[in-house]
């Protein structure tokens, strides 16, 4: 007899087959970013290297390009470059996750891969319940659910989700994204010695010295890790108001760094810093791989951000993940760089050196749709810009010391922008896919992550100076790396 879970997976696979040609014929289809085979993708989940192989799961709604009862979709890779889609790992077929197998994490324990996730349940009146659940696998492909390990503690609303589990010395820890009864966002810490019984330690940010003050109504997808001498709490707060150039998207992602006292469960932390300056970046998750690198992958989307206008919806899919990045903590700041394996994607190198004075430059050999572009900036007086397919532009204004990413809005085509202050710009490294651009500035000091939807025929790349700009450009083409 087939179970409800098996039945749901069958339906998802059928939906994938039915819409395959529609999805695959989309000119906006990514060539090196993970996407849903059909339907909607949001957060990365369960990012882990297990027995040598990298696994990235993702929040997946196979039946429509909207949100709902999520599955965990699943990709694997041996090199962080070439990815293969696997059968769905979790489906929402049990009483404790019937309205969604929500976000969570993976660990390796006793030769097994264990997944921790949130079971989302809505009762007949639409009231939310949330359960922290566990599933296990011996082969990394087939997963067996083992039910609920943690109920909602007192003091919090049912917005209590996204368990991230790690080991410190001999004890397991779990952080959960939460909203307290005063409707303030929090991250809650638990500890366990056996992974089944969890005791509450309290709010990680209840530090007496440095209060965050009012800081949003819900914090999603927390992650807590030690990196280069500091403890870092990464999370996605909801409800921050724009402040200058900061917090411009509907919801944000950023981090607090400091020292976690494992006895009290409190993080003595500094101010919150936004992790990305672009239009689409949310709910990232990190893992420590077998080489000891701290790797991050994020969702290239933001909740409640005009999804109904996304151009890919007519091709029956929406959203992608970011490229995998390596993190470091330097001078009080998280530094993000594309993982070095991505250099293996490079093909047909083109180099150009230029010096522009109030002029623009377009070179046939630099045009394209899917490539990596490294721009070493030697000098800028006035401003310098790079325009991609007439649909997005990166501008550095040296007088204002302001770096700005502009694009044509996918809602109404008008120009919109995101900016951050930069004293100097020496390097811009662009990862350009058919419908996204990730820009790493000065070796990962700042990153702008955004989607863009240029017209199919336009392959132009334009460099412009108002004043003087000297720079060297290296471009490598990138071919397709995702197998669905």
Catalytic residues: 43
CB of 91 to ligand FRU, least distance (A): 14
CB of 279 to ligand FRU, least distance (A): 16
Determine how many CB atoms are found less than 10 A away from the CB of residue 126. Answer: 6
CB of 120 to ligand FRU, least distance (A): 7
d(CA 406, CA 282) in angstroms, rounded, equals 19
Residue 72 or 371 having the CB closest to ligand FRU: 72
**What part of residues 152-181 is at the interface with ligand FRU (CB under 6 A)?**
161-162, 177
CB environment 354-375: b (16+ within 10 A), e (fewer): bebeeeebeeeebebbbbbbeb
Residue among 28, 31, 55, 70 that touches ligand FRU (CB under 6 A):
70
Residue 158 or 206 having the CB closest to ligand FRU: 158
Residue 189 or 221 having the CB closest to ligand FRU: 221
CB of 117 to ligand FRU, least distance (A): 8
Residue 121 or 386 having the CB closest to ligand FRU: 121
CB of 103 to ligand FRU, least distance (A): 3
Residue among 5, 49, 65, 103 that touches ligand FRU (CB under 6 A):
103
Residue among 5, 49, 91, 118 that touches ligand FRU (CB under 6 A):
118
Residue among 102, 247, 272, 471 that touches ligand FRU (CB under 6 A):
102
Residue 70 or 475 having the CB closest to ligand FRU: 70
Residue 32 or 117 having the CB closest to ligand FRU: 117
Site string for ligand FRU, 204-243 (x = CB under 6 A): ----------------xx----------------------
Residue 253 or 404 having the CB closest to ligand FRU: 253
Per rule CB under 6 A, count of chain residues that contact ligand FRU: 15
**What part of residues 10-69 is at the interface with ligand FRU (CB under 6 A)?**
42-43, 59
**What part of residues 275-334 is at the interface with ligand FRU (CB under 6 A)?**
282-283, 303
Q: Name the residues that contact ligand FRU, by CB under 6 A.
A: 42-43, 59, 70, 102-103, 118, 161-162, 177, 220-221, 282-283, 303
């Amino acid at each position: 007899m087939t179970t409800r879970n098996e039945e749901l997976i069958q339906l998802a696979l059928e939906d994938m087959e039915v819409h395959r040609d529609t999805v695959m014929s989309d000119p906006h289809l990514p060539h090196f970013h993970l996407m849903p085979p059909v339907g909607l993708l949001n957060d990365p989940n369960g990012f882990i290297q297990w027995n040598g192989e990298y696994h990235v799961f993702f929040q997946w709604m196979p039946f429509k390009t909207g949100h709902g009862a999520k599955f965990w979709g699943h990709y694997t890779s041996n090199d962080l470059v070439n990815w293969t889609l696997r059968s769905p790992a979790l489906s929402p077929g049990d009483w404790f996750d019937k309205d969604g197998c929500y976000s969570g994490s993976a660990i390796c324990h006793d030769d097994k891969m264990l997944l921790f996730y949130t079971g989302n349940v809505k009762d007949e009146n639409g009231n939310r319940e949330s359960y922290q659940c566990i599933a296990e696998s011996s082969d990394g492909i087939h997963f067996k659910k083992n039910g609920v390990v943690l109920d909602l503690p007192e003091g919090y609303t049912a917005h209590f989700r996204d368990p991230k589990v790690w080991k410190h010395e001999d004890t397991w820890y779990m952080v959960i994204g939460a909203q307290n009864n005063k409707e303030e966002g929090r991250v809650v810490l638990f500890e366990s010695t056996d992974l089944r019984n969890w005791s509450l330690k309290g709010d990680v940010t209840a530090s007496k010295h440095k209060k965050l003050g009012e800081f949003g109504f819900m914090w999603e997808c927390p992650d807590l890790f030690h990196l280069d001498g500091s403890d870092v709490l990464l999370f996605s707060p909801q409800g921050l108001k724009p402040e200058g150039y900061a917090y411009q998207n509907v919801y944000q992602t950023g981090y607090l760094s400091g020292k976690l006292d494992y006895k009290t469960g409190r993080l003595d932390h500094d101010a919150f810093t936004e992790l990305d300056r672009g239009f689409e970046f949310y709910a990232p998750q990190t893992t420590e791989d077998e080489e000891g690198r701290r790797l991050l992958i994020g969702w290239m989307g933001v909740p409640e951000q005009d999804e109904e206008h996304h151009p890919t919806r007519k091709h029956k899919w929406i959203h992608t993940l970011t490229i995998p990045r390596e993190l470091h903590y330097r001078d009080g700041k998280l530094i993000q760089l594309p993982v070095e394996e991505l250099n293996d994607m490079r093909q047909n190198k083109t180099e150009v050196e230029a010096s522009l004075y109030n002029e623009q430059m377009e070179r046939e050999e630099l045009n394209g749709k899917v490539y990596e572009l490294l721009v070493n900036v030697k000098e800028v007086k006035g401003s310098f810009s790079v325009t991609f397919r007439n649909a997005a532009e990166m501008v550095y204004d040296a007088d204002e010391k302001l770096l700005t990413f502009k694009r044509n809005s996918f809602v109404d085509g008008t120009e919109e922008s995101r900016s951050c202050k930069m004293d100097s710009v020496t390097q811009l490294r662009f990862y350009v896919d058919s419908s996204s651009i990730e820009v790493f500035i000065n070796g990962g000091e700042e990153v702008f992550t955004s989607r863009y939807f240029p017209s199919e025929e336009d392959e132009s790349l334009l460099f412009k100076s108002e004043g003087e700009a000297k720079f060297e450009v290296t471009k490598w083409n990138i071919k397709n790396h995702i197998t669905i």
